[in-house]
Amino acid sequence: TRYGEVENVEFNSDGALGITVYHQNRKGSASSTDLSPQAIARTVQAALDIARYTSPDPCAGVADKELLAFDAPDLDLFHPAEVSPDEAIELAARAEQAALQADKRITNTEGGSFNSHYGVKVFGNSHGMLQGYCSTRHSLSSCVIAEENGDMERDYAYTIGRAMSDLQTPEWVGADCARRTLSRLSPRKLSTMKAPVIFANEVATGLFGHLVGAIAGGSVYRKSTFLLDSLGKQILPDWLTIEEHPHLLKGLASTPFDSEGVRTERRDIIKDGILTQWLLTSYSARKLGLKSTGHAGGIHNWRIAGQGLSFEQMLKEMGTGLVVTELMGQGVSAITGDYSRGAAGFWVENGEIQYPVSEITIAGNLKDMWRNIVTVGNDIETRSNIQCGSVLLPEMKIAGQ
């Protein structure tokens, strides 16, 4: 909806089949969105044809039988919503209206949006595994524009969950959207300096997200990661542990098995600051002489416990420095760990937010940034596959005007 009027109502129903075959250590893959028997037969034949021409690779092959999820647990991921189109429109309009009515400085809107997704995933292989599960995902969002003294700023807010009962109200979405947008008005620029930095929880998840690529098996066997020799070594403070909970009931990144059928398991990725394992698929595991860790297709509900400080207490602990709420650009090197990204947020003095800032760049090296983390807050961001609170770093380079 936009200004309460319906702009777009979409219904999508689609399916896809992917098939991978191995013939004498040669791999062939093909896919189809046509699920008729004839199309499936053509897809299988296409995969076989491709396998005839690829180079043999001794590490290629189906996942090891003993690692497969023959008894996949029910993770309570399927919560269908009986929401009619009219009810969905009303939810989106209420979220938008709550934002528009919050303040006269909110002058325009990019609308409200409600989405409801049902999915079915089935996996089978020649070891005799055939498992599947259903899942749902519902979300509600709003985005508005505020104006003051010729300056225009936009921001958004959203809520997401497996069940409708897990969502915040449309009024909460609208109020949060308005608060976030208004807080950005009249931003200032900073001079170039070094200062402490707090990554607000919604961007702190990305700070640990860079760890995913750095410890992925593919990066390790290709020797294209700055953490190449870090297994069993301390890369984070000794009070920090990253737990993976793939079987979290109703979890947004929960799954009983990975995209190769390997069962997922509760793991400590980082234990007391020490890197305990790589994230391995069957192929990368064989390249490294190890076993798959069930990470084909990504990670599953990482949890990073806070140290008991609220966001306000973290501001007091920092005293003077920068709070980052938005990051731009892709300036992170997987080879060196060098980190340089555009940022926006707020300047803090005496433990209190003073004014919004924009058009700055923050820089450091991920190895140093991770090792020197001062504290992680208890304001846990739960809408991400990495769940953590805000993160305080002692110092970063800030490039301004």
Q: Residue 108: give its domain's CATH number.
A: 3.30.2290.10
Same domain, 136 and 157: yes
- Give the percent of the chain with pLDDT over 90: 94
User: Please, where are the H alpha helices in 190-340?
Assistant: 201-214, 217-221, 282-288, 311-318
Residues 146 and 165 occupy one common structural domain: yes
pTM of the model: 0.93
Whether 319 is in a domain gets the answer: yes
Same domain membership, residue 149 and residue 21: no
> Domain range for residue 323?
193-207+306-399
With respect to residue 292, please indicate whether it lies within any of the assigned structural domains: no
Split at pLDDT 50, 70, 90, the class of 6 is confident
Whether residues 346 and 198 fall in one domain? yes
156's tokens: 């958004």
Q: Indicate whether 82 pLDDT > 90.
A: no
What long-range pairs does 223-229 form, CB within 8 A, spacing at least 24? Answer: 224/334, 224/335, 225/334, 225/335, 226/333, 226/334, 226/335, 226/336, 226/337, 226/366, 226/367, 227/275, 227/337, 227/367
pLDDT of residue 13: 87
The pLDDT of residue 148 is 94
Mark whether 118 and 57 lie in a shared domain: no
Return the pLDDT at 9: 85
- Residue 246 inside a domain? The answer is no
3-state secondary structure of 132: strand
Is residue 134, in this structure, part of any structural domain at all?
yes
Q: Is pLDDT above 80 for 40? A: yes
Is residue 251, in this structure, part of any structural domain at all? no
**Statement to judge: residues 117 and 162 lie in one domain:** yes
On whether the CB atoms of residues 142 and 157 are closer than 8 A, the answer is yes
Give the Cα separation of 58 and 83 in Å (integer). 51
Q: Is the pLDDT of residue 1 over 80?
A: no
Q: Kindly report the average pLDDT of the chain as a whole number.
A: 96
Looking at residue 57, its amino acid is D
Q: Is 295 contained in some domain?
A: no
Q: Are residues 322 and 174 in the same domain?
A: no
DSSP reduced 3-state for 176: helix
**401: exposed, middle or buried (Cβ count in 10 Å: 0-12, 13-18, 19+):** exposed
Same-domain check for residues 40 and 19: yes
Q: What is the mean pLDDT of residues 379-396?
A: 97
Same domain, 43 and 89: no
Contact 170, 183 (CB under 8 A): no
Give the confidence band of 4 by pLDDT, cuts at 50, 70, 90.
confident
The answer to the question of residue 226 being in a domain is no
Domain count, the chain: 3
